[in-house]
Chains A and B, each alone.
Chain A
Amino acid sequence: MIDLNSISTKPLITPTTHQMTLSDHWDHFLARVGYKRSQHRIKPGLYSIGDPQSDSPVFVTANYTLSFDALRSNLEGIDCYILVLDTFGVNVWCAAGKKTFGTDELVMKINATQLKKVIDRHILILPQLGAPGISAHEVKKRTGFKVQYGPVRASDLPEYLRTNRATPEMRKVIFGLSDRMVLISVDFKHNFLPTILLSIAAWLLLDGLLPASSVLAILFSASILFPILLPWLPSKNFSTKGFFLGFLTAIPFILVTLFGNTDTSLIHQISRALAYLLVIPPPVAYIGLNFTGATTFTSKSGVRREMLRYIPVMAWTFGTGILVMIASIFI
């Protein structure tokens, strides 16, 4: 057995600043568009800002550059330490959900960085959204460190430090239009290539422009319009919101099919219009349902209830629509 306390190495503290460089901003941009999504990491361990003393505050965060930078960019003029946990490049809230931003990891990092040698005041300030992964009383029991949950947003930290309390507003997660907009790019990129391939397939197999553009319309509605319109789409369920938006998306294609080109037989037009009505809404609803994972308020049991009820509906509607579409080729 090696007694860890007998090893007298000096605690390793890496200095950093509150300033963002051009390469930081570039990194944030790449992270937002989902380029090498899990590789926006910083080295876990202990960092310092300014000239912290043994009674300076210690903040805890994840080793995702967007998390680390959101924290330090709000600490201008505050001498402090930052303890970075190894969350494998995942943000605080998501990492807390899977317990990598968790009690065990926090205890391990407190010991590994020899934090007790660095500060006298054994208090840690954690982001509130780390709480799903951390048990404060468990950390106290195992390390003697008191966990304080700071505000949700790092931008409220200066005020939190001044008043030593977080207001109810600071404790609430908000999910506004701008928050939803920044999520668009990742979802869009995720679905972009399959959409292009499907669109080309629709072009070749069916009769050209209209079916091909209907595939693009699905992507546009589901990945861009859905997040923007989320609060205003009817019903609480994401799948029914998606079905509604998908139905609106299908309307122009139905109208053009019925009233646009009248060269083909009436039965062909009606069957093709019916196919659009059945094929377009389900994928929009499905991608919409998947947006639950990006939001800040859906519960696990609620999402499961939605899935059990609506995924079969999506599958049957879509499958029937594809059969009608195939049949319309021959009539």
Chain B
Amino acid sequence: MMVKIMYDAYSMNTLQYDQTLCNGCGMCVNVCPHAVFEMHARKAMMVNPLACMECGACQLNCVTAAIKVDSGVGCAAGMIRAALQGKPEAECS
């Protein structure tokens, strides 16, 4: 695992999906900018989880709270600034 991070820190992420909670509304398919979800038999399926950029759109628009993701802005400059100023992350300019 550590070796993999050395050249690909994006080989994992915080996206979690509980299909048993899905009501089939398809909102996650609509909002995802990287086609992580697809509809199959009236349920959303996670077809490409590693493409997730953790923007949080699916979680926020999932009415049954079936999707969880630690969302935020994937921006090093923002995180460095937040760390230096002791502020919470997810700020960018």
Contacts and interface: CB of A to CB of B under 8 A. Distances in A.
A237 B30 contact: no
Interface in B52-67: 52-57, 60-61, 63
A299 B8 contact: no
A301 B34 CA distance: 17
A104 B92 CA distance: 20
Contact of B11 (A96, A173, A236, A304): A236
Interface in A43-96: 94, 96
Contacts of B41: none
Nearest to A291: B76
Contact of B74 (A37, A135, A302): A302
A132 B52 CA distance: 13
Contacts of B55: 96-97, 131-132
Contacts of A37: 93
A94 B70 contact: no
Contacts of B53: 296-299
Task: Give the size range of B's interface with the partner.
Answer: 35 or more
Contacts of B75: 290, 292-294, 298, 303
A134 interface: yes
Contact of B73 (A128, A134, A240, A300): A300
B21 interface: no
A171 B38 CA distance: 12
A163 B51 CA distance: 28
Nearest to B83: A307
A149 interface: yes
A309 B57 CA distance: 28
A289 interface: yes
Nearest to B63: A137
A303 B7 contact: no
A129 B55 CA distance: 9
Contacts of A136: 27, 61
Interface residues of A, number: 46
A146 to B, nearest CB: 12
Interface string B5-16: 111111111100
Nearest to A303: B74
A98 B71 contact: no
Contacts of B29: 171
A189 interface: no
A25 interface: no
A136 to B, nearest CB: 5
Given A299-B53, A301-B14, A302-B74, A97 B9 contact: no
A133 B73 CA distance: 12
A303 B13 contact: no
A242 to B, nearest CB: 11
A292 B76 contact: yes
Contacts of A238: 76
B3 to A, nearest CB: 11
A172 interface: yes
A303 B9 contact: yes
A134 B61 contact: yes
B33 A302 contact: no
A171 B14 contact: no
Interface of A: 37-38, 94, 96-98, 128-129, 131-137, 149, 152, 166, 168, 171-173, 235-238, 240, 289-290, 292-307, 309
Given A289-B76, A299-B14, A300-B73, 17 more contacts: A131-B30, A131-B31, A135-B60, A171-B29, A171-B30, A171-B32, A236-B11, A237-B6, A292-B74, A292-B76, A293-B74, A293-B75, A296-B53, A300-B71, A300-B79, A307-B80, A309-B5
